[in-house]
Amino acid sequence: MKCPACRVPMYVAEYRQIELDLCGQCEGVWFDRGELSLLLGDDRPLAVTAAVSEEATRTCPLCDKPMDKVNIGPDRRVVVDHCPQDCGLWFDATEVAALTGELDAAGWGLPPAVFDFLREMFPAKGGK
């Protein structure tokens, strides 16, 4: 699988039996729909809200369709890419940092289990 941003092959990190695809260059993270459903024990499509962003459009690494920009936080600060076919979610490196820096699962668009996992997988790098 190739990074939606840099187009180089991504590597895989597995933790707590969940796998994420990571880009070695831009440090972005791909969250596969299959992994999401394993994490949630639920395979219904994700409910996301559309967002406006000047960020470049990325294409889905699985189905090659241009992805939509979506909000996953109530303060409309974190914008991620969501595949229109619901193949998965793409977090740019800064977006992961934004999330892990100030994670507040309550009331967020994504289910808490996903955030709990992200918090564990990408611990906030305090003081850096």
Partner 1 sequence: MWEQIAANRRKSIGLVISAALLLGALGWAGGEYFLGQGGGTGGVLIALVVWLVMTLAAWFQGDSIMLSVAGAHRVQKEDLPQLFNVVEEMTLASGLSKMPAVYVIDDPAPNAFAAGRRPENAAVAVTSGLLRTLDRDELQGVIAHEMAHVRNRDIQLMLFAGVLAGAIVILAETGLRGMWLGGGRSRSRRDGGSDGNGLVAILAVVLMILAPILAQLIYFAVSRKREYLADASAASFTRYPEGLASALEKISRAPQRLGGATSATAPMYIINPLKRNGQMAANGTSTHPPIDERIRILRSMAGAGFADYDRSYREVTKRGGVIPGSALKDAETGQTARSTGATPAPSTRENARKVDDFFYRRDGYRKVECACGTTLRIPADFATPAAKCPRCGALHDLR
Among 43, 64, 102, 104, binds partner 1 (CB under 8 A): 43
Smallest distance, Å, CB 58 to partner 1? 17
Are the beta carbons of 112 and 99 closer than 8 angstroms? no
Query: What Rg, from alpha-carbon coordinates, does the chain have?
Result: 14
Rule CB under 8 A: say whether 124 interacts with partner 1: no
Are the beta carbons of 35 and 90 closer than 8 angstroms? no
Candidate ranges 14-22, 49-57, 72-80, 108-116; the one touching partner 1 (CB under 8 A): 14-22
Rule CB under 8 A: say whether 68 interacts with partner 1: no
- Cα–Cα distance measured from residue 68 to residue 65, given in angstroms and rounded to the nearest whole number: 9
- DSSP sequence for 87-115: -EEEE-HHHHHHHHHT---TT-SS-HHHH
Among 5, 22, 70, 99, binds partner 1 (CB under 8 A): 22
Among 25, 49, 53, 94, binds partner 1 (CB under 8 A): 25
Candidate ranges 8-16, 50-58, 69-77, 103-111; the one touching partner 1 (CB under 8 A): 8-16
